[in-house]
Amino acid sequence: MKLGVNIDHVATLRQARYAFSLDAPNVEPDLLAAASACERVGAHGITIHLRADRRHIQDRDVERLRASINTKLNLEMGNTPEILDVALCVLPEEVCLVPENRAEVTTEGGLDAAGQLKFLTPTISRLQKSGIRVSLFIEPDPVQLQAARQLGAEMVELHTGAFANATGAARDREVERLITAAEQAHQLGIQVNAGHGINYQNIALIRTIPHLAELNIGHSIISRAIFVGLERATAEMLAAMG
C-alpha cells in the first residue's frame, strides 16, 4: 500500500491566525515544508482538499505544491465549475471527486455517483482529457461501484468513516462491507484506495482489506505530529501500514 498524506490541517492551523494576512513575512506553518517532511520519510503523495469556502487550502497553495513536491499531488474537490477550472489549470496527477457541504466540519459521507451520473460525466471527461487520473470518494456500496465503472473512473476511494466510528460487531460488519467492495472494485478493473478516519490503531484492520493500493490519511498523522514531529508521525504510519 502507498500513503498519501493529507496536509489540509497544516493549513487549518495557519488560517487560524493568518487567514487575512497570508502575505505577512512570518506566516506559519508552511505547507511546502510540511509536504517536504512527509516526502523525506517515504510518503508516496500529498493530498489536499480545495474547498469552496477556502477554509484551509487556498488556490495559491495548490499552485505552489504542484510546482514543488517530488511525488504526486492528489487534489480533492467538489464537482463545481470554479474548482474544476483550478484543477484544469494546475493539472495535479490525480483528482478525487468528493461531496461537499459547507456546513460540515469534515466530509460526512461518500459521493452519490449513481445519482449524479449526468453531472459527473462531463467533469470526469474534461479531467481525463487533460491527463488527470480520476478517483471517486464513495461508500462501499455495489451500486456506487457500478456507477464508478460506468463513469470510467480509474480509481475509487472507499469511505472508511463508518468503519472508523464503529465498535464491536458493527465495526466487524463495516470491515466486511469494505472487503466486499474492494473485491468488487478489483473485479471491475478499478484501483482501490481508502480514506477517512484511519489512524494508528485501526490500521491493523484496514490491512485486512484486499487489493488496497493507497490510503489517504490526514488528521491522525497531523495530530500525532504535534507530539513527535511530522517526519516521525509519517514514518510511523508507513511502518504500521506494513
Q: Which residues are known to be catalytic?
A: 49, 76, 196
Residue with cell 517526519: 231
Q: In sequence order, which residues have a C-beta less than 8 Å from that of residue 161 and are 6 or more positions away?
A: 107, 108, 109, 196, 197
Dihedral class, residue 117 (left if φ above 0, else alpha if ψ from -120 to 50, else beta): alpha
What residues have CB less than 8 Å from 20, skipping those under 6 apart? none
- Classified as helix, coil or strand, 5 is strand
Contact status, residue 110 vs residue 138, Cβ threshold 8 Å: yes
Q: In which element (H, E) is residue 165 found?
A: helix 161-165
Asked if 58 and 79 touch (Cβ cutoff 8 Å), the reply is no
Angle, CA of 186, 187 and 189, to the nearest 5°: 65
- What burial letters (b/e) apply to 109-145, b meaning 16+ CB within 10 Å? bbbbbbebeeebeebbeebeeeebbbbbbbbbbeebb
